[in-house]
């Protein structure tokens, strides 16, 4: 049944929806399903697959370096400063591309930008895997970061504009779900090659081991190539965003794009809503002159601010740092090295499995409910984790003076932390010797640039000695220095003495405490995955009005990455000086803002078209 809407008809949008709902069952008939229906179902599923591949690539982009880095470090001949740039190149590329992703999406279209981002990822893999020098390796990683930044903006944007209101939550949720799968795959690749390297090491052939490590980090990158190729192919096969096409005055193409995923009645109705929205933007009072309305109107400002708060608070939960330093956190909570790595594996599996539950619930329970429930659970779990650390950290002892006295004349520090050395440090600081295993972390600086050593245990014979050197502690160049400390003087740091700011000895808790911390982190991950993990991309794409959606998403994501970068920069120094409890309490406090925003200020967008959401912020009454 083809039900056209007459622009002059007195039947409004809501009446049309009601008529459609009443007529469709009788018109279609019991058990009727046409070939056209099958094509629409297949296309909607295909859209979800393409979205999932985009999320998978984003997750692989972020997580792939963790497994490859130990072997790259062992075989590339790069120093610590160069390796840090290789790792950070993805973040830098992502920040740059996020800033311009909205403009590019408006200029070249959502579909074209998706394909371009996939091509960049595909090109970056052989560039990295075949590289035999520092330059190609950094450029390949930078290109990978540019791809990730574009994907993070354009895929949720495309899904918001192409999927029906009833399936938009599921589609964007699948993006997040397969993003977590990308992280799991990256971790699994690292574990697989780690096992293979261990097998080769048992043969006792140093040359063969070095050669296999060289093959290992290259192989890790090669395995991530097929999803990139599939994403490019999928991006070329989907239709362009109907909203983008209509704004380019391609009404027939926009209508054809709608018909690929909607019934005729749904396409007619949604096209009319889009046309009304565009017309309302252009029509102004006055002598027939069309003027651009102010971007300071409430329908632009309020959703933009809400999206920015949600994106910033999403990172302020500490999710990236808790994932990145999960094994170290569990080690310091009392678990052994083996148990800590198993804990991290369980942590990632919970992230992946509970995200799937969130995908299934988001279009049933709604975004507001899941965000409120998720952030509430996050607050409680982070507070419990903080209290578990607080009791033990009250017994920390600062032995910085004793460690400072061991700095050599060339401003380096090398020491192997043993039970005897721990007792010696404690005695020099005026404390009784420890009767149990302890850990040591050193916070130090060369001029304006602070760093933190790895945490070492007195009872762990396999732990590497603390080895502090200037060339491995200060940025390699002024670009990296700017991201480390925008106000730091790099030239002065190259000649400044090594200053030990804090050297903290902490009793190592028992394994019972460690598993309690692990449990609270598992709970944290479950609540994050079912709430913010799934809904954050939806909030970003649904809240932004059509006129500012692409550029607004870029700004909000840039803020998101800025908060993530700031937390990453202060995490280790803060933990080293004030303890994990301080960071976890800080994350919990920031999540309170997130909870208040989601519970009292965020409207429910489940089942509403983008035009209806925009009308809500304008103050108009648009029902379902």
Provide the residue count of the chain. Answer: 624
Region 544-570: mean pLDDT is 74
pLDDT (0 to 100) of residue 517: 93
- With 90 as the cut, is the pLDDT of residue 376 above it? yes
C-alpha pair distances (Å), 361 with each of 523, 537, 538: 18, 15, 13
Whole-number average pLDDT of the chain: 79
Region 487-496: mean pLDDT is 88
**In degrees to the nearest 10, what's the CA dihedral of 143, 148, 153, 155?**
110
User: For residue 31, what pLDDT band results from cuts at 50, 70 and 90?
Assistant: very low
pLDDT (0 to 100) of residue 122: 92
- Separation CA 47–CA 49 (nearest Å): 5
Q: Which tokens hold the place of 78?
A: 């790069």
Q: Which has the closest alpha carbon to 316: 387, 372, 379?
A: 379
pLDDT (0 to 100) of residue 24: 41
- With 70 as the cut, is the pLDDT of residue 466 above it? yes
pLDDT in tens, 282-320: 665 443 444 455 556 666 788 888 888 888 888 899 887
Q: Tell me if 189 sits within 8 A of 67, measured CB to CB.
A: yes
Q: Which tokens hold the place of 271?
A: 């096209």
pTM over 0.85: no
Token pair 């804090």 in the structure block, residue: 502
- Separation CA 114–CA 50 (nearest Å): 10
Token pair 């010696």 in the structure block, residue: 424
Between CA 397 and CA 406, with CA 402 as vertex, the angle to 5 degrees is 140
pLDDT in tens, 421-461: 888 888 888 888 777 788 888 888 899 888 777 778 887 76
- Separation CA 371–CA 529 (nearest Å): 10
Which DSSP string corresponds to 364-406? HH-HHHHHHHHHHHHHHHHHHHHHHHHHHHTT-EE-HHHHHTT
Q: Which residues contact 443 (CB under 8 A, 6 or more apart)?
A: 450, 451, 452, 453, 500, 501, 502, 503, 504, 573, 576, 577
pLDDT (0 to 100) of residue 436: 77
- Separation CA 148–CA 152 (nearest Å): 6
- With 80 as the cut, is the pLDDT of residue 519 above it? yes
User: For residue 623, what pLDDT band results from cuts at 50, 70 and 90?
Assistant: very low
| 322 half-sphere exposure, CB direction, 13 A CA radius | 30
- Strand, coil or helix: 544: coil
Pick from 130-139, 288-297, 503-512, 596-605: least confident: 288-297
- With 60 as the cut, is the pLDDT of residue 49 above it? yes
pLDDT in tens, 201-217: 778 777 888 888 888 88
- Separation CA 440–CA 455 (nearest Å): 6
- With 80 as the cut, is the pLDDT of residue 337 above it? no
pLDDT in tens, 565-599: 778 767 767 877 788 899 999 999 999 999 999 88
Could you say which DSSP state residue 598 is in?
I
User: Domains in the chain, ordered, with CATH?
Assistant: 11-22+35-293 (1.20.1250.20), 402-476+487-510 (no CATH)
Task: Name the residue with higher pLDDT: 261 or 256.
Answer: 256
User: By CB neighbour count within 10 A (0-12 exposed, 13-18 middle, 19+ buried), where does 603 fall?
Assistant: middle
- With 70 as the cut, is the pLDDT of residue 379 above it? yes
Q: Tell me if 448 sits within 8 A of 489, measured CB to CB.
A: yes
SS3 per-residue string spanning 511-542: HHHHHHHHHHHHHHHHHHHHCHHHHHHHHHHH
Q: Tell me if 103 sits within 8 A of 550, measured CB to CB.
A: yes
Percent of the chain surpassing pLDDT 90: 14
pLDDT (0 to 100) of residue 622: 39
- With 50 as the cut, is the pLDDT of residue 108 above it? yes
- Max CA separation in the chain (angstroms): 90
Count of other CB atoms within 10 angstroms of residue 491: 11
């Amino acid at each position: 049944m083809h039900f056209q809407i007459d622009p002059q008809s007195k039947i409004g949008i809501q009446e049309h929806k009601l008529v459609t709902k009443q007529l469709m069952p009788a018109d279609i008939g019991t058990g009727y399903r046409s070939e056209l229906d099958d094509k629409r179902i297949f296309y909607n599923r295909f859209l979800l697959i393409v979205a999932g591949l985009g999320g998978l690539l984003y997750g692989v982009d972020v997580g792939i370096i963790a497994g490859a880095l130990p072997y790259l470090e062992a075989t590339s001949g790069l120093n610590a400063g160069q390796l840090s740039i290789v790792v950070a190149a993805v973040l830098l590329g992502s920040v740059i591309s996020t800033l311009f992703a909205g403009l590019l999406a408006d200029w070249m279209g959502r579909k074209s930008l998706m394909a371009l981002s996939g091509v960049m990822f595909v090109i970056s893999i052989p560039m990295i895997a075949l590289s035999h020098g520092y330059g190609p390796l950094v450029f390949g990683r930078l290109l990978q970061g540019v791809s990730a930044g574009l994907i993070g903006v354009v895929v949720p944007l495309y899904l918001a504009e192409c999927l029906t209101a009833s399936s938009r939550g599921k589609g964007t949720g699948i993006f997040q779900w397969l993003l977590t799968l990308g992280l799991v795959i990256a971790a699994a690749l690292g574990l697989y090659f780690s096992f293979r390297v261990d097998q080769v090491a048992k043969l006792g052939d140093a040359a063969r081991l070095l050669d296999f490590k060289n093959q290992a980090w290259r192989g890790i990158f090669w395995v991530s190539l097929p999803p990139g190729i599939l994403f490019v192919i999928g991006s070329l096969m989907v239709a362009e965003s109907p909203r983008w096409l209509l704004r380019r005055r391609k009404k027939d193409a926009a209508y054809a794009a709608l018909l690929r995923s909607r019934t005729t009645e749904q396409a007619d109705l949604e096209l009319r809503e889009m046309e009304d929205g565009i017309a309302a933007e252009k029509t102004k009072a006055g002598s027939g002159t069309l003027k651009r309305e102010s971007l300071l109107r409430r329908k632009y400002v309020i959703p933009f601010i809400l999206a920015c708060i949600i994106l910033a608070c999403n990172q302020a939960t500490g999710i990236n740092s808790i994932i990145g330093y999960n094994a170290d956190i569990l080690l310091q909570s009392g678990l052994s090295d083996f148990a800590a790595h198993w804990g991290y594996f369980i942590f990632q599996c919970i992230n992946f499995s509970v995200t799937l539950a969130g995908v299934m619930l988001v279009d049933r329970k709604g975004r507001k409910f899941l965000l409120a429930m998720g952030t509430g659970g996050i607050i409680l779990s982070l507070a419990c984790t903080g209290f578990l650390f607080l009791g033990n950290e009250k017994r920390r002892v600062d032995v910085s003076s004793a460690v400072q006295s061991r700095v050599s004349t060339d401003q380096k520090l090398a020491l192997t932390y043993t039970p005897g050395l721990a007792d010696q440090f404690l005695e020099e600081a005026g404390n009784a010797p420890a009767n149990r295993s302890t850990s040591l972390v050193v916070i130090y600086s060369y001029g304006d640039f602070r760093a933190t050593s790895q945490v070492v245990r007195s009872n762990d014979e396999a732990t590497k000695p603390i080895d502090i050197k200037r060339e491995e502690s200060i940025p390699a160049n002024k670009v990296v220095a700017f991201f480390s400390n925008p106000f730091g003087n790099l030239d002065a740091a190259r000649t400044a003495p090594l200053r030990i700011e804090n050297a903290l000895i902490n009793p190592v808790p028992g394994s019972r405490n460690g598993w309690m911390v692990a449990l609270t982190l598992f709970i944290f991950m479950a609540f994050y995955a079912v709430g913010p993990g799934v809904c954050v991309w939806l909030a970003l794409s649904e809240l932004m009005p059509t006129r500012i959606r692409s550029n607004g998403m870029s700004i909000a994501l840039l803020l998101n990455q800025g908060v993530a970068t700031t937390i990453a920069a202060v995490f280790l120094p803060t933990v080293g000086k004030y303890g994990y409890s301080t960071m976890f309490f800080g994350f919990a406090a920031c999540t309170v803002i997130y909870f208040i925003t989601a519970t009292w200020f965020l409207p429910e967008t489940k089942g509403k078209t983008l035009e209806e959401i925009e009308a809500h912020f304008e103050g108009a009454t648009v029902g379902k």
